[in-house]
Structure 1
Amino acid sequence: MRVVIADDAVLLREGLVRLVEENGHAVVAVVGDGPSLVDAIVEHRPDVSIVDVRMPPSHTDEGLRAAVEARSRVPGSPILVLSQYVEVSYADDLLADRLGAVGYLLKDRVSQIADFLDALTRVAGGGTVLDPEVVSQLLVRRRRDDPLRNLTPREREVLAYMAEGLTNAAIARKMVITDGAVEKHVRNIFTKLNLFQDEEQHRRVLAVLAYLQG
């Protein structure tokens, strides 16, 4: 994969470069601010970009805003966001275009190398990967008109794992049920959320969005 890395923290940035390159991928650009990230994505069209939420000058949401701008200029450009803390509104903003190929992980996950690299690959492939802690905090924001109100507890559990980016097979292993049972739950989720006649990956993204916005 061709990767862009955007982080103003030199130690973490260089660590990410080494990790990515040692696992057979090419780092095509390394930047430390939002405008440079946008320029790098437009110029290089990377397979995935690793982006810190907080970058200069205010160290608030520059990385996120730059990622959103980059995806407006290069629609669907895969973005994996890293953050020190859970910034719930940022996750909503990044997911708002409904194109998939986005991830949001806490920086602690980088130390779990296999999981981090797996998340990077899934985002590059068009998937949506969310840190379990992000999912947990998003649940607190459930609105009164919950679109998930018709789902059974088992279907909600399946959808929560979908939001973490797990495949049906991985969900089956987590829940200790058959692949066929998971597929049935997923079909029921699509039906109850009125997600019809669309390709599977796109419907999964829309189902996860409904889960996050519920």
Structure 2
Amino acid sequence: MRVVIAEDAAILRELLTQMLTMRGHEICAAVADADALREAVDTHRPDVTVVDIRMPPTHTDDGLRAAIDIRRAHPGTGVLLFSQYVETKYATRLLAEGSAGVGYLLKERVANVGEFADALARVAAGGTALDPEVVTQLAAGGRRTEELTSLTGRERDVLTLMAEGRSNAAIAQGLHVSAGTVEKHVAAIFGKLGLPSSEDHNRRVLAVIRYLHRD
């Protein structure tokens, strides 16, 4: 993968660069502020970018707002937010900017390098990778729609795990049910959310966005 890293902490920026380089990925740029991030993505057109949220110049939500700009200007570039904080104000807007290639991981909850690299690869490939705590807070911030209230409790459990980027096999293992049962729940979710089969859209990602971004 071709990657741009945006992290204002120099040591973490260097560690991310070394870690991904050792795994065979090309680091196009490693920058320390939001303006440099926008410029680097415009210049290099990477497959995915790793973005800290609280970066210069204001150290508030500059990275997240830059990520929204990137999704609008370069919808094919995956964005993985990597932060200590859950920022719900703009995060749902980021998810609404496109139906694929968005992740949000909390730094202190990433267990190992392999987990991070796998999440980054999912985002670069157009999937999602959301920390369970992020899913919980974003979902709690929205208003239930009729479509979502029609889901059963188990269907909501499955959709939450889909939001985390879990495969059907991983969902089955986590819920202690068969893969066939998960497939039935997923099909029911797609039906209730009005997501017909399409070659142009990833229905799993669309379902997750519908779940997290509710008007």
Q: Aligning the two structures, in what range does the TM-score lie when normalised by the shorter sequence?
A: over 0.9
Q: Which moved more, 1:6-15 or 1:111-120?
A: 111-120
Deviation at 1:110, TM superposition (A): 4.2
Q: Read off the aligned partner of 2:43 and give its amino acid letter.
A: E
Once the two structures are superposed, the pairs formed by residues 51-200 of structure 1 within 5 Å of their partners are 51-145=51-145, 147-199=147-199
Alignment TM-score, normalising by the size of structure 2: 0.93
- Local SS of the residue matching 2:60: coil
Question: Is the Cα contact below 8 Å between 1:98 and 1:205 reproduced in 2?
Answer: no
Return the alpha-carbon distance in structure 2 between the equivalents of residues 52 and 182 of structure 1.
34
Deviation at 1:76, TM superposition (A): 2.6
Q: Read off the aligned partner of 2:165 and give its amino acid letter.
A: G
- Local SS of the residue matching 2:169: helix
Question: Is the Cα contact below 8 Å between 2:34 and 2:63 reproduced in 1?
Answer: yes
Return the alpha-carbon distance in structure 2 between the equivalents of residues 172 and 132 of structure 1.
17
CA shift in 2, pair 1:200/1:183, >3 Å: farther
After TM superposition, where is structure 1 displaced by more than 4 Å over at least 4 residues in a row?
none
Return the alpha-carbon distance in structure 2 between the equivalents of residues 25 and 159 of structure 1.
31
Return the alpha-carbon distance in structure 2 between the equivalents of residues 125 and 191 of structure 1.
25
Deviation at 1:109, TM superposition (A): 3.5
Return the alpha-carbon distance in structure 2 between the equivalents of residues 12 and 186 of structure 1.
38
Q: Read off the aligned partner of 2:180 and give its amino acid letter.
A: G
* CA deviation vs aligned residue, 1:93-116 (integer Å, no higher than 9, x gap): 210123310100111144522211
Deviation at 1:201, TM superposition (A): 5.6
Alignment TM-score, normalising by the size of structure 1: 0.93
Q: Percent identity?
A: 55
Q: Read off the aligned partner of 1:183 and give its amino acid letter.
A: E
Q: Which moved more, 1:36-45 or 1:197-206?
A: 197-206
Q: Which moved more, 1:161-170 or 1:103-112?
A: 103-112
Return the alpha-carbon distance in structure 2 between the equivalents of residues 141 and 194 of structure 1.
22
- Local SS of the residue matching 2:202: helix
> Any stretches of 5+ residues in structure 1 without a counterpart?
none
- Local SS of the residue matching 2:194: coil
Root mean square deviation, CA, Å: 1.7
Return the alpha-carbon distance in structure 2 between the equivalents of residues 109 and 22 of structure 1.
22
